[in-house]
């Protein structure tokens, strides 16, 4: 599935901020073993209590989609897929025609094209437009089988994010994402919808329907590398679940003109076939897809570690100036992975602990911490390596204490509600949060353990600094 962070690169709207700037490790190319079957998938639709109750009632306002366990809609989808050309289970599937989006209301499509609306908001608007046509849309069966309330942090209220994700940096990412979605909708409304109310009436194109369509896109959109990274909703293929251990990705196959994937392992008939949604951490999977893999099963797992300059530092002002020059601030997050930490984290930590006598190096440390150029310069300052490691471990300790506080409190949380529906939702969200916090705390513990075997340390750095 598409990497959600890319939304910010394809969107022209100023509402999308770049506040969160993690040092991303790029996804390795998909590994495909040709001896296993290539599967042709489908055509494409193109390139506090009151808060909880409100969230539940809001979902009812989206008049399409279905409950996740709707057998009726699933059967209708199955019939529609077969009628549209998806062959019965057979390996390999024959090719299926690629189709670009055609608006049932062409005037609406032309207006969005005139305003050069980027892929994500364009698809979100297209999905709402087709959904509102119900049976008369050619995608009606597909849209009816989409979840009415996609699982993603977009559907958590602010109170729920604060309550359950207090310890995790994913809370900030979720708030940022929700703000961006609201900003995108407001921008479309002001610039376009308000000028064409007949084409984009507010009863249909509103914040709730946009939240739904963005929730669908975040959890189902596919990025197609061989179509210059264009994104698409691919019926049928978007029913595949994620497995952290498989390396099977969807892509467009130019020769057969269809979306295909090649499995990297043999499956028995009746066995569930998985794909990979990308090398994402547990937090990122929760953010976009609303689930957390079992602890210890995700080799791409990471936790955002927050590092800060000490206000009592004699060189606080100079260090902050150097950081600001490179687009960083006095407090910054870096990904700590199971396999190690990035050079940017190390560079920031060197800067944070370096004494006044090293002021001439502040600039190069800040530059390496920002790593705007993409150069992975492995800085070495043996004289401050020890306090630097201590600084990282103290930061881990601080973060661990927040997770531990939440995990201890979670045992007695949520017993104060009387409605079974409310209780179910709370228990479900709490379990997701507990799973996430356990997996993130585990990575922090692991980083701390490295301190215990110092002799192993230098080898660790040279091998695992990313």
Ligand X SMILES: C[S@@+](CC[C@H](N)C(=O)[O-])C[C@H]1O[C@@H](n2cnc3c(N)ncnc32)[C@H](O)[C@@H]1O
Supply the minimum distance, in Å, between the C-beta of residue 281 and ligand X: 14
Residues contacting 440, CB < 8 A, separation 6+: 167, 168, 282, 283, 303, 403
CA gap 303, 53 in Å, rounded:
31
283 within 8 A of 169, measured Cβ to Cβ? yes
Q: Find where tokens 């630097």 sit.
A: 388
Residue 262: CB minimum distance to ligand X, A: 18
Contact call for residue 430 and ligand X (CB under 6 A): no
Query: What residues numbered 155-174 form the site for ligand X, per CB under 6 A?
Result: none
- Say which DSSP state 66 is in: B
Contacts of residue 409, defined as CB under 8 A and 6 or more positions apart, other chains included, come to none
* Interface of this chain with ligand X, residues 77 to 136, rule: CB under 6 A: none
Question: Rule CB under 6 A: is residue 291 a binding residue for ligand X?
Answer: yes
Alpha carbon distance 119, 123 (integer Å) = 6
**Which CB sits closer to ligand X, 205 or 236?**
236
Least distance to ligand X, CB of residue 355, Å: 48
289 belongs to the binding site for ligand X (CB under 6 A): yes
Nearer to ligand X, 142 or 350 (CB): 142
Instruction: Give the dihedral of Cα atoms 6, 305, 296, 221; nearest 10 deg.
Output: -10
By CB under 6 A, tell whether 220 contacts ligand X: yes
Smallest separation (angstroms) from ligand X to the CB of 64: 15
Structure tokens at 101: 């989006």
C-beta closer to ligand X: residue 282 or 370: 282
Q: Smallest distance from the beta carbon of 246 to ligand X, in angstroms?
A: 10
Q: Which of 46, 125, 129, 219 binds ligand X (CB under 6 A)?
A: 219
Estimate to the nearest angstrom the gap between the alpha carbon of 86 and the chain centroid. 30
Scan residues 27-86 and list those touching ligand X (CB under 6 A): none
Work out whether 290 is an interface residue with ligand X (CB under 6 A): yes
List 238, 247, 284, 344, residue binding ligand X (CB under 6 A): 238
Among 16, 120, 142, 151, binds ligand X (CB under 6 A): 151
Closest CA to 306 of 163, 167, 159, 164: 167
Residue 31: CB atoms within 10 Å: 12
CB of 395 to ligand X, least distance (A): 31
The sign of the dihedral angle between the CA atoms of 247, 250, 251, 256 is positive
Cα(95)–Cα(39) distance, integer angstroms: 9
Select the residue whose beta carbon is closest to ligand X and give its number. 241
Total interface residues for ligand X by CB under 6 A: 12
241 binds ligand X (CB under 6 A): yes
Q: How far is the CB of 152 from ligand X (least distance, A)?
A: 7
- Per DSSP, which regions of 14-166 are E strands? 38-40
CA distance 22 to 337: 12
CB-nearer residue toward ligand X: 242 or 446: 242
Q: Using CB under 6 A as the criterion, which residues of the chain lie in contact with ligand X when the complex forms?
A: 1, 147, 151, 219-220, 238-239, 241-242, 289-291
């Amino acid at each position: 599935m598409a990497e959600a962070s890319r939304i910010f690169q394809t969107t022209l709207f100023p509402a999308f901020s770049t506040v969160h700037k993690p040092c991303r490790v790029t996804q390795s190319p998909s590994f495909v073993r040709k001896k296993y079957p290539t599967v042709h998938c489908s055509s494409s639709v193109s390139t506090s209590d009151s808060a909880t109750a409100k969230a539940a009632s809001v979902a009812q306002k989206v008049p399409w989609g279905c409950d996740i366990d709707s057998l009726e809609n699933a059967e209708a989808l199955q019939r529609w897929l077969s009628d549209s050309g998806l062959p019965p289970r057979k390996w390999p599937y024959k090719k299926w025609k690629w189709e670009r989006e055609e608006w049932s209301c062409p005037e609406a499509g032309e207006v969005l094209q005139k305003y050069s609306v980027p892929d994500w908001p364009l698809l979100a608007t297209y999905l709402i437009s087709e959904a509102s046509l119900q049976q008369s849309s050619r995608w009606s069966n597909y849209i009816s089988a989409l979840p009415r309330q996609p699982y993603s942090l977009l559907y958590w209220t602010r109170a729920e994010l604060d309550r359950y994700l207090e310890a995790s940096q994913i809370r900030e990412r979720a708030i940022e994402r929700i703000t961006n979605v609201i900003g995108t909708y407001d921008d479309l409304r002001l610039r376009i919808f308000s000028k064409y109310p007949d084409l984009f009436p507010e009863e249909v194109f509103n914040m709730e329907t946009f939240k739904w369509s963005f929730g669908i896109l975040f959890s189902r959109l596919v990025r197609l590398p061989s179509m210059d990274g264009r994104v698409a909703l691919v019926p049928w293929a978007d029913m595949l679940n994620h497995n952290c251990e498989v390396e099977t990705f969807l892509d467009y196959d130019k020769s057969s003109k269809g979306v295909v994937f090649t499995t990297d392992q043999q499956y028995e008939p009746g066995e569930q076939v998985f794909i990979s949604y990308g090398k994402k951490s547990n937090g990122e999977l929760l953010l976009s897809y609303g689930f957390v893999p079992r602890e210890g099963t995700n080799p791409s797992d990471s936790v955002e570690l927050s590092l800060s300059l000490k206000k009592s530092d004699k060189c606080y002002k100079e260090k902050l100036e150097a950081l600001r020059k490179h687009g960083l601030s006095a407090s910054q997050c870096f990904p700590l992975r199971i396999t190690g930490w990035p050079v940017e984290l190390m560079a920031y930590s060197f800067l944070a602990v370096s004494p006044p006598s090293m002021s001439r190096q502040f600039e190069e440390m800040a530059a390496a911490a920002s790593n705007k150029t993409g150069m992975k310069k492995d800085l070495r300052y043996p004289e401050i390596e020890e306090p630097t490691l201590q600084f990282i471990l103290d930061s881990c300790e601080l973060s661990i204490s927040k997770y531990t506080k939440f995990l201890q409190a979670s045992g007695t949380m949520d017993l104060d509600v009387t409605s079974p529906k409310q209780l179910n939702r709370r228990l479900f969200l709490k379990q997701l949060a507990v799973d996430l916090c356990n997996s993130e705390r585990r990575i922090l513990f692991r980083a701390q353990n490295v301190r215990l075997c110092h002799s192993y340390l230098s080898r660790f750095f040279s091998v695992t600094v990313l």
